[in-house]
């Protein structure tokens, strides 16, 4: 998903001018649609990360 998000951010900067990272992040979040993808198994790293004491990032 990272290349897709980076492309979206580049598009938004091109369309809206040079905005702050916080305003671009807020815009990306406002454009998102929650609850569309369901039934997807989490990547196994996230299950094993908790055992190693790593913290999962949340936005």
11-59 tens-digit pLDDT = 999 998 878 999 999 999 999 888 777 776 666 665 665 556 666 666 6
Do 27 and 16 contact (CB within 8 A), yes or no? yes
Is the model's pTM score more than 0.75?
A: no
Per-domain residue ranges of the chain? 2-51
DSSP 52: T
Q: What is the DSSP letter of 32?
A: -
């Amino acid at each position: 998903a990272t290349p897709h998000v980076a492309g979206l951010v580049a598009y938004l900067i091109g369309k809206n001018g040079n905005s702050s990272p916080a305003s671009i992040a807020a815009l990306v979040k406002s454009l998102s649609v929650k609850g569309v993808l369901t039934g997807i198994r989490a990547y196994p790293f996230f299950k094993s990360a908790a055992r190693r004491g790593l913290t999962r990032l949340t936005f």
